[in-house]
Every structure is written in C-alpha cells, then in structure tokens.
Amino acid sequence: MSSGRILVVDDEPQIRRVLRTTLSAQGYEVFDVKTGEDALLAVRDQRFDLVLLDMNMPGMGGMAACREIRTGSDVAIIMLTVRNSEQDKVNALDAGADDYITKPFGMPELLARIRAALRRLPVVQGAADAVVHLSGIEIDLSTRRVRKGEAEVRLTPKEFDLLHYLIANANVVIPHVKLLQAVWGPDYGDQVEYLRVFVNQLRRKIEPDPSAPRYLLTEPWVGYRFDLAQKPSK
C-alpha cells in the first residue's frame, strides 16, 4: 500500500532518480518533474500529499513555484536548497513551505522530514468545544475548516495543526520546544524561526488586527499562548 504520493521537483536528473528510487522503496508513490512550471501543472492536474521542491532551478525558481502552489493547494511542501542561513529558511517558510532541508542531506534525515511534514494531529471527534468562535472567525477542529463570515480561510495542514494544538491548550503558555515537537515531531526543538513564521501567518489569517494580536500571543523568550479567556464587556 502506498504511504503517500510525492512530487519531486528538481532540475538535476541524478537527484530525481535517487529520490524516486529511495522513496519508492519506502512505499511512496513518486512522480518527478524538472521545472517549477511543470510542478504547477502537475499539482493542478493531480493530487499529491507532499512536494519536494528545489529552491534553485532555471526559469521559475522554487520560491516562486512554492508561492504559486500555495495559492490553490494545501499540499505539504519541503524546500531543498544548498543555502543554510536563517534568513533563507525564513524566506522558504514565508513562501509557504512546511519545512526546509539543506543539500547535501542524508536519506534518513530526508525521510524523517517527510514523515514530520505528513504527520497530523488527531481529529477531534464529537467534542463539545470542537467549534471555536473568535471575532468573526469560526474554527471547526473536527473538519479542519476555518471560516470568516461566509468565506473559507485557507490554512496549510501545518498551520492548522499549530492552531489546533494552541487552542487545545488555550490560556496555557506552550514553550517553543514543546510546541515544535507536538506539531512537527520529536526531532524538532531548535527551529524557533519556524514558529515565528507560522504564528505570523496565522495572525494574518485569524486576528482582527495582526499587528496587535488578541488571541495568538507571544510570551517573550518562552513560547506562545492562545488566549481564550473571557473578555470583560465594555
């Protein structure tokens, strides 16, 4: 049985061949293309669980391709790149990637990253508080859907998992390490920049005023807290 459908996007034939062979041996159904333009066509025409996307390609680069994919798909995306600065990581996450891995990488590390990108928090079944109402926002934890008025707010799977975990532990300060390991997995803990980027993305999508967050609060040097405490009436 397939463990999931993966699209490999890289202009180097040898990398595509190695990834196709290795991932197929792990039970994944693997497809590959060599350009960002081809990746967009593939994602529009087929369903994938994850995209491995090289950042540096001729024509449409990985960053532009990632942004375009994110406009219409919540597929998990891992960026592959030779760059390793924190700003490069932030740029990749800002473009919509769920994770980032630097070339050259070992296959055990890549496989762990893929498992982390594909892992999901358990669905809430029948809980009384499965639907959370904020200021004009409705969050349904059981169906993983967010609505703002009549419009649906598109969250990536990792964005929703982060939001879900914070809401499930509302009014409690969650340390960075605990939050990373709960949402991404036990191999994570030092990637605080992931949280900064994803929290900012969530604020833009659910906060009435993202520059002055009411719900998704930063606890400096410690972590984050989702404030669902009752507000006094004015």
**What is the tens place of the pLDDT at every residue in 121-159?**
776 555 556 889 998 899 999 888 999 988 999 998 899
Under the banding of pLDDT at 50, 70 and 90, the label for residue 232 is very low
Give me the mean pLDDT over the 70-75 stretch. 90
Nearest residue to 92 (alpha-carbon basis) of 113, 114, 65, 119: 65
Predicted local confidence at residue 125, as pLDDT: 53
Task: Quick: pLDDT tens for 110-119.
Answer: 999 999 999 8
Are 43 and 51 in contact by the 8 Å Cβ rule? The answer is: yes
- For the domain made up of 131-226, give the CATH fold: Arc Repressor Mutant, subunit A (1.10.10)
Please give the model's pTM, rounded to 2 decimal places. 0.87
Q: What is the pLDDT of residue 160?
A: 94
| Averaged pLDDT, 44-68 | 93
pLDDT at position 233 is 39
Q: Map tokens 């081809």 to a residue.
A: 38
- Quick check: 120 and 157 in contact, CB under 8 A? yes
Which run of H or E residues covers position 79?
strand 76-81
**Homologous superfamily of 4-118 in CATH?**
Response regulator (3.40.50.2300)
Which pLDDT tens digit goes with each residue over 176-219? 999 999 999 998 988 899 999 999 999 999 999 999 999 999 99
Q: Are 146 and 138 in contact (CB under 8 A)?
A: yes
Domain ranges of the chain: 4-118, 131-226
